[in-house]
Amino acid sequence: MQSDQRESPEKRESLRFRLQLRLAVIYPVRDGRPVHPIYHAKTHDIGMSGLSMVVDDNVFHEGEVTLLLTLPPVHPWAAQKIIEATARMNYSIHSSKLNAFKIGMKILGFKADGGMLLQAALQRASEQEVDARRQAVGARSGANRNTDSRPRRR
């Protein structure tokens, strides 16, 4: 067995980020009617190959679904972008701790430039996370604190 063929405990194909994006799950149409109504939720975590969401209802569906993901704007004045992807639900687990269902999905493909847009959004989220960690470490080190407790005159 080659090293790249070994089974790893982590089955995900890409890193996941704790990024809550609004999403809509659109179910396939059978006999002229959708199998389920459109379901709106937020992602729990997301990566290029999949996502999970925590929802109150078990909205699991075997087969492909269409996802509409709302990406955060790049700038405060910019419009939000919505990307479309095809996905397959892999699991649905009821969590007594969360008192909700956690549903995992594998992203099968993106429409148009959706993959590039999601990649850019995940990169920005990663950079923001690193910046937040740096600020937290700086605050704990006392580098920004005024150690002199005497009042200052102006």
Q: What percent of the chain clears pLDDT 70, i.e. is strictly above it? A: 81
Cα separation, 114 vs 120, in Å, equals 10
Considering the four listed CATH numbers 3.40.30.10, 2.40.10.220, 3.30.70.260, 3.40.50.170, the one that applies to the domain covering 12-137 is: 2.40.10.220
Cα separation, 11 vs 104, in Å, equals 12
Helix extents (H) in the chain: 114-141
What global pTM score does this model have? Answer: 0.74
Predicted pLDDT at 148: 53
Q: Which amino acid is residue 142, in one-letter code?
A: G
Q: Which of the residue ranges 70-79, 98-107, 132-141, 144-153 would you say has the lowest mean pLDDT?
A: 144-153
SS3 label, residue 62:
coil
pLDDT digits (tens, 9 = 90+) for 63-108: 899 999 999 888 889 889 999 999 999 999 999 998 999 999 999 9
